[in-house]
């Protein structure tokens, strides 16, 4: 079947990698598995063999039809032909167990999809994704390196992120130009540390990493004074990549507190 570049399709075919992914997901009967972008079904049938029932979301109608017409799907595989960015995972879960989301994500939708899923985290137990290795490196980066940044901190606020293993280009057809990696995310309903508000954290983190070569004193000067940063127990002379996610949470909570007080005073 023809590969459609607009969907960023690279089909997994390596049996060893498929087995490692399925073992990481560890599906059992009764799990609510949802696969994003099943493609030709290389991973789908191995997951279905263990879970016995599952859902898949596929935007390519031709690929979806192949899955629907496969005898293994009958009565066991529910195929949703739609853009996963439009999928309502809260509705999909219904009254059932939390969802396990699995997928090989195209680069062009990976970041918006991750944040869209975290908005619907009440429906999700855990997520296992194949992404470009450089994206996974950024997602799971510790403070202090060049990979650590806005994506790391924003994900850390609502999910435990763990890079599992790398996948070489030869595992796919057509062969991509980059390495991939498998990452696991375990979302939490409440923030994992104080953030004030989603808006406050996003505002502070975006401002800090827009000027990552500047100190916090300079990068956040439109949001917080040096004294306000120090009041959080943080040296305003530090650069943003040296702060742990929870420290950004302290700054965001302080900014939110001041912002709300300012609004009350002006009301």
Do 162 and 223 reside in the same domain of the chain? no
Task: Look at residue 263 and tell me whether its pLDDT is greater than 70.
Answer: no
152, 187, 222: which is the final residue of a domain? 187
Q: What is the pLDDT of residue 235?
A: 98
Q: Are 137 and 147 in contact (CB under 8 A)?
A: yes
Domain that holds residue 154: 5-187
Do 209 and 149 reside in the same domain of the chain? no
The CATH number given to whatever domain includes residue 239 is 1.10.8.100
Do 251 and 144 reside in the same domain of the chain? no
Task: Look at residue 6 and tell me whether its pLDDT is greater than 60.
Answer: no
This prediction has a pTM of: 0.91
**Model confidence over 128-187: pLDDT tens digits?**
999 999 999 999 999 999 999 999 999 999 999 999 999 999 999 888 889 999 999 999
Sequence-distant (6+) residues with CB within 8 A of 51 are: 27, 28, 29, 31, 33
Do 209 and 145 reside in the same domain of the chain? no
Sequence-distant (6+) residues with CB within 8 A of 67 are: 38, 41, 44, 56, 58, 73, 77, 79
In a domain, 62, yes or no: yes
Do 207 and 178 reside in the same domain of the chain? no
135, 154, 187: which is the final residue of a domain? 187
In a domain, 137, yes or no: yes
In a domain, 114, yes or no: yes
In a domain, 225, yes or no: yes
In a domain, 76, yes or no: yes
Do 86 and 172 reside in the same domain of the chain? yes
Number of domains the chain contains: 2
The CATH number given to whatever domain includes residue 151 is 3.40.50.150
Do 138 and 217 reside in the same domain of the chain? no
In a domain, 193, yes or no: no
156, 187, 218: which is the final residue of a domain? 187
Do 57 and 133 reside in the same domain of the chain? yes
Do 90 and 209 reside in the same domain of the chain? no
In a domain, 153, yes or no: yes
Task: Look at residue 81 and tell me whether its pLDDT is greater than 80.
Answer: yes
Question: Rounded to an integer, what is the distance from CA 244 to the centroid of its chain?
Answer: 19
Q: What is the pLDDT of residue 54?
A: 98
Q: What is the pLDDT of residue 158?
A: 97
Do 91 and 217 reside in the same domain of the chain? no
The DSSP call for residue 32 is: E
Q: What is the pLDDT of residue 265?
A: 52
In a domain, 192, yes or no: no
Do 180 and 237 reside in the same domain of the chain? no
Do 148 and 221 reside in the same domain of the chain? no
The 10 Å CB-count burial string (b at 16+, else e) for 6-35 is ebbbbbbebeebbeebbeebebeeebbbbb
**Model confidence over 84-122: pLDDT tens digits?**
999 999 999 999 999 999 999 888 899 999 999 999 999
């Amino acid at each position: 079947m023809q590969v459609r570049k607009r969907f960023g399709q690279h089909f997994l075919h390596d049996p060893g990698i498929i087995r490692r992914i399925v073992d990481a997901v560890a599906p059992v009967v009764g799990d609510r598995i949802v696969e994003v972008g099943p493609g030709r079904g290389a991973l789908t049938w191995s997951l279905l063999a263990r879970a016995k029932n599952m859902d898949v979301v596929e935007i390519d109608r031709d690929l979806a039809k192949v899955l629907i017409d496969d005898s293994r799907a009958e009565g066991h595989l529910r195929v949703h032909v739609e853009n996963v960015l439009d999928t309502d995972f809260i509705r999909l879960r219904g009254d059932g167990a939390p969802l396990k989301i699995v997928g090989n994500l195209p680069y062009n939708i990976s970041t918006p999809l991750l944040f869209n899923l975290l908005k619907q985290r009440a429906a999700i137990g855990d997520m296992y994704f194949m992404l470009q290795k450089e994206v996974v490196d950024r997602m799971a980066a510790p403070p202090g390196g060049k990979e650590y940044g806005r994506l790391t901190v924003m994900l850390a606020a609502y999910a435990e992120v763990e890079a599992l293993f790398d996948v070489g280009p030869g595992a796919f057809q057509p062969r991509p130009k980059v390495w991939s990696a498998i990452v696991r995310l375990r979302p939490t309903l409440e923030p994992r540390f104080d953030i004030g508000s989603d808006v406050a954290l996003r505002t502070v983190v975006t401002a800090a990493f827009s000027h990552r070569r500047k100190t916090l004193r300079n990068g956040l000067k439109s949001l917080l004074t040096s004294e306000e940063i120090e009041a959080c127990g943080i040296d305003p002379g530090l650069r943003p990549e040296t702060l742990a996610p929870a420290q950004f949470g302290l700054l965001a909570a302080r900014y939110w507190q001041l912002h709300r007080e300012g609004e009350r005073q002006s009301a």
